[in-house]
Amino acid sequence: MWPLRITVFYPIRATYVLPVNQMNKERLTKTLVDRLTPDETEYVAWCGKLAGFGCRVWPSGKKVFIVFYRAGGRSSKLRKKTIGTYGTLTVDQARREAEKYLASAQLGQDLVGEECKAKTEMTMSQLCDEYLEHGVALKKPSTIATDIGRINGHIRPLLGKKKISAVTRKDIERFLNDVAKGKTANDQRTKKRGRSIIKGGKGTASRTVRLLGGIFTYAVNQGYLDNNPRLGVKTFKDRSMDRFLSDAEMEQLGQALVEAETIGLPWKFNDGAAAKHRPTEIETMREKMSSHVTGAIRLLILTGCRLREILHLKWSEVDFERHLLNLPDSKTGRKTVYLSRGAVDVLEALPRIGTYVVLGRNPDKPRSDIKRPWQRIADHAGLEGVRLHDLRHTFASQGAASGMSLQMIGALLGHKSPETTARYAHLTEDPLRRALNDMSTQLENAVVPGKNSRA
């Protein structure tokens, strides 16, 4: 039966196991490789005619040719070589390259070992380039973009010229402290009239060191290094950024949203601004917000969605009949969002212009952000230090206060891991306490002296 799917796992220390009994006896050809379909986990389809030659299929659909061999008998180290990506290389080209490595192994020559030895002399900057090309296949484009920012903003400036074999645990500890103190902080103008702002801080330092550990894990798995120098480096504890709006704050926000979309919010002038640039007519002294902006904020509150999930939401993904959002891609993959009656009302009230629910400058492209209007609305509502993401936390806190279990909250938020939802555990105290009081009334009447005589 074709294809034979064999999952290959990658521990921190690279120990690859080549299956001895290969049920597939067919030659790996273009027709067979085209027929390979992605699965939830990566797998390798091996060639039945050239032992050690195979095609790895990633969940993203990417197909990469590989070759495994031992140079020097069973006691020698198992070597793995990534030959190239299908589409860039043909099956025949990859086969010829695999034959070269396998033939050399038969003669006792370890080509991969020699290449790995040479790779230990590459610089950190070169390793980062290779990692971004070959080591991020399972990451989302948004995550890769974040990785690139951290690599270019912090790793290259501080460690880029250092040989990878020379980087030690102490170097990474020093790197952590330097980024935390703002050594790599930068503010530069870009070509398109914008600014590139790079910030330091403990949170940035910890996240960049975790990325650095992933890059070194890639180097270990490729055989470039024997050990990961990031192991044992303690990072700063992440600050709890959870902020929940109280009932009073929710009312203030609701009033500000109505005011923003009807009469507009009062202009807020910068101190020292030239008077001649200020509006003089009364009717121009207020700023009116688009219903798409206020609608987006209401949807964030009523659905618990992430900002990008709302800004990138298409009308074709809204199921009004069943009250669902069918998101083809989110931070955790494909996701179904359940809509309350209030959320459906907000969607039905929005003008349908273009492809996306939240209208931006281009009707056929998603709006990039709503930071500025949100800040104006939050300031007017007196919500100090409240981020858009805190609306998601508020949705979860209201669910906990109403008696929902953590499992239900996690399902509504689209969490894959129970640990992610555990941050809301303390919020379930009030419904538990109410339930406890209701349940224990009869017990108290029986065993607590004078209980029936209490006022």
Give the pLDDT confidence score for residue 9 in this predicted structure.
37
Partner residues linked to 55 by β-bridges: 45, 65
Determine the Cα–Cα distance for residues 378 and 253; give it in Å rounded to an integer: 7
Beta strands in 324-409 (DSSP E): 324-327, 335-338
Give, for 43, the enclosing helix (H) or strand (E).
Answer: strand 43-46
pLDDT along the chain (455 residues), means of 10: 42 36 71 91 91 91 90 72 90 93 81 73 92 87 90 95 93 95 75 62 92 93 88 81 82 93 79 53 73 94 91 94 88 83 93 91 88 92 89 84 78 74 64 63 68 53
Give the pLDDT confidence score for residue 20 in this predicted structure.
37
Q: 373, 381 in Cβ contact below 8 A?
A: no
Show contacts of 346-351: CB within 8 Å, 24+ apart. 346/295, 346/298, 346/299, 346/302, 347/295, 347/299, 347/318, 347/320, 348/320, 349/291, 349/295, 350/291, 350/292, 350/295, 351/291, 351/292
Give, for 112, the enclosing helix (H) or strand (E).
Answer: helix 111-119
φ, ψ (nearest 5 deg) of residue 277: -95, 0
Token couple for 106: 């038969």
SS3 262: coil
Q: 378, 259 in Cβ contact below 8 A?
A: no
Q: How many residues does the chain have?
A: 455
**Where are the alpha helices (H) located in 226-370, listed in sequence order?**
247-261, 291-303, 307-311, 341-349
Residue type (1 letter), 168: T
DSSP sequence for 289-320? PPHHHHHHHHHHHHH---HHHHHT-BGGGEET
Give the pLDDT confidence score for residue 330 in this predicted structure.
74
Q: 76, 70 in Cβ contact below 8 A?
A: yes
Which sign, positive or negative, has the C-alpha torsion 130, 135, 137, 141? negative
SS3 260: helix
Determine the Cα–Cα distance for residues 34 and 28; give it in Å rounded to an integer: 10
Residue type (1 letter), 231: L
Token couple for 422: 């555990």
Among residues 394, 114, 344, 134, the alpha carbon closest in space to that of 242 is found at 394
SS3 36: coil
Among residues 129, 137, 147, the alpha carbon closest in space to that of 209 is found at 147
Give the pLDDT confidence score for residue 21 in this predicted structure.
36
- Tokens 């929902």 locate to 404
Widest CA span in the chain:
96
pTM above 0.85, yes or no: no
Determine the Cα–Cα distance for residues 366 and 312; give it in Å rounded to an integer: 5
- Tokens 């060191």 locate to 209
Q: Can the peptide bond before residue 3 be classed as cis, meaning omega within 30 degrees of 0? A: yes
Determine the Cα–Cα distance for residues 293 and 299; give it in Å rounded to an integer: 10
What domains are there in the chain, each with its CATH number? 30-118 (3.30.160.390), 124-221 (1.10.150), 247-428 (1.10.443.10)
φ, ψ (nearest 5 deg) of residue 207: -70, -35
Q: CB within 8 A of 58, min separation 6: which ones?
A: 38, 42, 64, 137, 138
Alpha-carbon 34 to chain mean position: 30
